[in-house]
Structure 1
Amino acid sequence: MGKALLLCFWFLFSTGMYAQSVDSRNTITSPPDTSRYQDALITKVLFSAHNNTWGYDIFVNHVLLIHQPSIPCYGGREGFKTKKDALSVAELVITKIRKGLVPPTVTKAELKALGIKADD
């Protein structure tokens, strides 16, 4: 019984050491490659959404990257109240994509700075 327990302990300890090992050659991380978006063809398409609101799609090189039928960072299904609001946020998102910030998150503070309010 003692030998079996010792063998089990040794096995668990030895496999645990390998699972926790770190390859020291890979400690330097490189920044994300932003060049793939700098010269890409990035387009926006505005569309009517739920309850007479607006949303937007963002395409990168003719491929849909973002479908945003609702106001980002707010729960619910409500889109932007005006087409202008949807356009402003779509342009902000495109700016972030060009900088390599993918996914391009939008904060409540950024929406507020654009004058966009959502019903909480």
Structure 2
Amino acid sequence: MKKIYSYFLVFCVISIATILFIYVQSNNNETIENNNSPYTLHVIDNDSAWIYEIYNNDSLFIRQEYIPALKGKQSFKTKEDAEKIGNLMLKKLSKNAFPVISKKELIDNNINFEKI
């Protein structure tokens, strides 16, 4: 009876490892496909604020100095915040979606901003 449990345990471990391997490979393929996109992201330090720029085949397509979807002019406080929203915009552009960021997406990505 112990042998059956041992075989079952080995089977489960191999199955889980196979599933994880397939999952990682599929995520790597998505990243490779995104590298074929004509869009690239650049994050720039501007004194105490951060800016992201998206280029389409080496020409400036979007320059975002302020956090989108907010009232007033609030700058990105960290490089990570600018990168998160820039990458979100890249994903939308690569899917041919309308390049708009909502306040909900800012909250979902934990972007620091003042609530006015």
TM-score over 0.5 for the pair: yes
TM-score (norm: length of structure 1): 0.61
> Which residue of the partner structure matches residue 71 of structure 1?
67
For residues 28-47 of structure 1, the aligned pairs below 5 Å read: 39-47=36-44
Distance 2:97 2:61 in 1: 13
Name the SS for the 2:51 alignment partner. strand
> Which residue of the partner structure matches residue 83 of structure 1?
79
Structure 1 residue ranges without an equivalent (≥5): 1-37
Q: Does the 8 Å contact 2:52/2:63 carry over to 1?
A: yes
1:78 deviates by 2.2
Query: Aligned pair 1:52/2:48, yes or no?
Result: yes
Q: Does the 8 Å contact 1:53/1:78 carry over to 2?
A: no
Q: Does the 8 Å contact 2:54/2:63 carry over to 1?
A: yes
Structure 2 residue ranges without an equivalent (≥5): 1-34
How many residues end up aligned between the 2 structures?
Answer: 82
Change (3 A) 1:76 1:48: farther
TM-score (norm: length of structure 2): 0.63
**What do the CA deviations read for 1:60-90 (whole angstroms, capped 9, x no partner)?**
1111110100000112222111100100100
> Which residue of the partner structure matches residue 111 of structure 1?
106
Name the SS for the 1:79 alignment partner. coil
Higher CA-based Rg: 1
Distance 2:91 2:108 in 1: 15
Q: Percent identity?
A: 31
Specify the code of the residue in structure 2 equivalent to 1:64: L
Q: Does the 8 Å contact 1:42/1:94 carry over to 2?
A: yes
Given candidates 72, 82, 92, the residue that maps to 1:96 is 92
Structure ranking higher in helix proportion: 2
